[in-house]
Amino acid sequence: MGRQPTQVHFLPARVARALVTHGADDVVVGPFCVVGPLVRIGRGTVLTNSVTVVGKVTIGEGNKIFPGAVIGGDPQDLKYKGEPTRLVIGRGNTFRECVTIHRGTMGGGGETRIGDRNLFMAYAHVAHDCVIADRVIMTNNVMLGGHVTVGERAFLGGGSAVHQFCRIGRIAMVGGMARIVQDVVVGPIPTTCWTGPSTPPARSCARPA
């Protein structure tokens, strides 16, 4: 028997079914964006081009999302079986190229939450059930495991990786390429963090917030 021809399903380059906030005439969805039917977009938000927003996602006002970003993807958790979890994004955030933000899982409350005025530089990753406060800066290639909490105005240096369930405190600074396997809390008690496989732990005595 001859080989059966491959069935190829071509999807339209742009699928925009999102519910846009009433009166939000200034929302921009650029070319080659894919936007799912459960997405809600607030006024002034811009999807530049080649952006994917899927799942149950609420995006507030004045956000800007750059090419290659995937917002609201399925959580990378083997326990996830397609439950209707969600991602909630506040106002004035910037998501640079190829940023990935995943929805929550039922085991983590069903929600990933992003606050206001945060900057996610290229290739940053926020896993399921994370909670990001306001004015946080995640530089290039920062990776957050599931259930991580990041406090207001925290700064995470390039290539740093945060283990699941860890907490990064308010105004904390994490150096580039750091490996975080425990809470980093700014306060009177010194915090010890491993910064690499061959680097001894560095103690930081930050002043109380």
Please give the positions annotated as active site: 128-129, 146
User: Rounded to an integer, what distance in angstroms lies between the CA atom of residue 164 and that of residue 106?
Assistant: 16
Which residue from 34, 112, 37 is spatially nearest to 77, judged by alpha carbons?
A: 112
Report which residue type is found at 144.
Answer: L
Tokens of 129: 């059930």
Cα dist. 20→17, 28, 69 in Å?
9, 10, 19
Give the residue among 41, 38, 37, 21 at the shortest CA–CA distance from 29: 41
> If DSSP codes are grouped into helix, strand and coil, which group holds residue 64?
strand
**Distances, alpha carbon 2 to alpha carbons 5, 111, in Å:** 9, 49
Q: What is the rounded distance in angstroms from the CA atom of residue 110 to the CA atom of residue 117?
A: 23
Q: Which two tokens stand for residue 51?
A: 């952006």
